[in-house]
A and B are shown apart, each in its own frame.
Chain A
Amino acid sequence: MSAFKQHMPLAKYSLRMCLTFLSWVPVVYVVTEHVAYIGKIEGMSMKPTFNPPESPNTRNHVLLWKWGVTNINNLEVDDVVFLRSPIDPEKIYTKRIKAKQGDLVVPRYPDTRSRVLVPVNHIWVEGDNVHSIDSNTYGPVSTGLVIGKATYLIWPLDRFGPIPLGGRECREAKLRHSYKE
């Protein structure tokens, strides 16, 4: 007991530090879950924008903005989004939005359906790589599956900056416009 009394200030200090630390745990949890987080891009479906072949061993990291991303008004064409797979809910895909609600899309393989109309609150997502399992396989996806929007490339440091553009144009209205020019 006397030993405890002797170290009383130290014990008090550690207890206070512990409680201060613990009180921040829920704050950090809410921020990482609902506001912003760092997302790691795995796989090759977004080549060459992410994980380019020049550096095969570094995985690209992006700043992932999560607040309000299920609202279609906060998503734009050519944004890179993380979404829960419609085929397997435990998997997370990184894809680029190529069309939004109301757009008429020309799919990559128009043999089954020549044109696809994207329904309300749905988006058409594609990988920048041709070898990608995307909306050309599973069709338009609801914005409710989106879990975050990639806003900045933060790792590796030599590629730091905004997300580069990529992919193809698939909206019929824009394609027709470009033919005219």
Chain B
Amino acid sequence: MLPTLAVVNDSAVVDKRYKYGRNVKMGDLIVARKPTEPSSLVTKRITGMPGDIILIDPSKNSLQRLNQENLDMQEITPLDNSSYDNYVIVPKGHVWVTGDNLNASLDSRTYSVVPLAMIEGKLVYAWYLTGMLSMFTNSPRKLANTFVEE
């Protein structure tokens, strides 16, 4: 979730009134159970609501092997990304969630839509705390919904 949340030491306030996806909106930060591993919780941003048509990720696999030595651009055969270069309609009662750091995020692009019933709450405040002293140097940040309809 970089750059919204730090990798470690970021504490957050979760509003549980939004449990089971009650009144969640596009662009909200949510905590949800991971569908493929329900014992763990993930923090993601809602990027698709029921009824929306989503283009999964056509850029997937397109930048692989670029850091290889002696790379001949002509020799690159693109890896198969046909399953990612596809459209998905978000079904009723589900949301599409992605991380803010798309390159390093395991999200709906892999495990598909998340049922609203697996949402545990919405993130409202975050506070970067590394020790007792940082309470005075860092102040809590409000996690705003920056979604704009184009």
Contact = CB atoms under 8 A, between A and B. Distances in A.
A interface: dominant SS: loop
Interface residues of A, number: 19
Interface residues of B, number: 19
A92 to B, nearest CB: 10
B117 A85 contact: yes
Contacts of B141: none
Interface stretch (B1-9, B34-42, B59-67, B79-87): B34-42
Interface string B86-121: 000001111000000000000000010001111100
Nearest to A68: B39
Given A86-B93, A86-B94, A87-B93, A142 B35 contact: yes
Interface string B44-72: 00000000000000000000000000000
Contacts of A119: 36, 111
B20 A121 contact: no
Contact of B117 (A84, A120, A121): A84
Contacts of A141: 115
Contact of B115 (A71, A86, A90, A121): A86
Interface string A81-93: 0001111111000
Contacts of A66: none
A33 B141 CA distance: 33
A144 B20 contact: no
Contacts of A144: 33-35, 38, 118
A101 B51 CA distance: 28
A136 interface: no
A129 interface: no
Interface string B6-27: 0000000000000011000000
A89 B116 contact: yes
B118 A142 contact: yes
B36 A138 contact: no
Contacts of B111: 119
B36 A121 contact: yes
A84 B33 contact: no
A100 B93 CA distance: 23
Nearest to A70: B38
Contacts of A84: 20, 115, 117
Contacts of B37: 120-121
Nearest to A90: B20
B39 A142 contact: no
Given A90-B20, A145-B118, A85 B93 contact: yes
20 contacts: A70-B39, A71-B39, A86-B115, A87-B93, A88-B92, A89-B20, A89-B21, A119-B36, A119-B111, A120-B36, A121-B36, A121-B38, A122-B35, A142-B36, A142-B38, A142-B118, A143-B38, A144-B35, A144-B118, A145-B115
Among all A-B residue pairs, the 9 with the closest Cβ atoms? A144-B38, A89-B117, A84-B117, A89-B20, A142-B35, A144-B33, A87-B93, A86-B115, A89-B116
Interface of A: 70-71, 84-90, 119-122, 138, 141-145
